[in-house]
Amino acid sequence: MQLSARNSLKGIVIEVVPGIVTAKVKVDIGGGNVVVSVITVDSINELNIKVGDEVYAIFKSTEVMIGV
């Protein structure tokens, strides 16, 4: 896999919550940290994403916001 995005986190899918059009995917990236992504149900099906799969959370953005 080659991407122009510079930021990616490898992890394990711990939960997939499908809705009608979108699905929430929770990815354990280690150290007690979890990344959550919302993608289409079609993408879940096409990529065959399921709990226990090793995946990459890939970030491409012109901004990173920090709140306290």
* Spatial separation of the C-alpha atoms in residues 67 and 35, rounded to whole Å: 17
pLDDT digits (tens, 9 = 90+) for 7-46: 888 999 999 999 999 999 999 999 999 999 999 999 999 9
Arithmetic mean of pLDDT, 48-62: 90
| Structural domain boundaries in the chain | 7-59
Res 66 pLDDT > 80? no
What would be the CATH architecture of the domain defined by 7-59?
A: Beta Barrel (2.40)
Q: Is the dihedral of CA 2, 17, 27, 53 positive or negative?
A: negative
pLDDT at 17: 97
Question: Has residue 51 got a pLDDT over 90?
Answer: yes
Q: Residues 21-24: contacts with CB within 8 Å, 24+ apart?
A: none
User: Computed over its alpha carbons, how large is the radius of gyration of the chain?
Assistant: 13
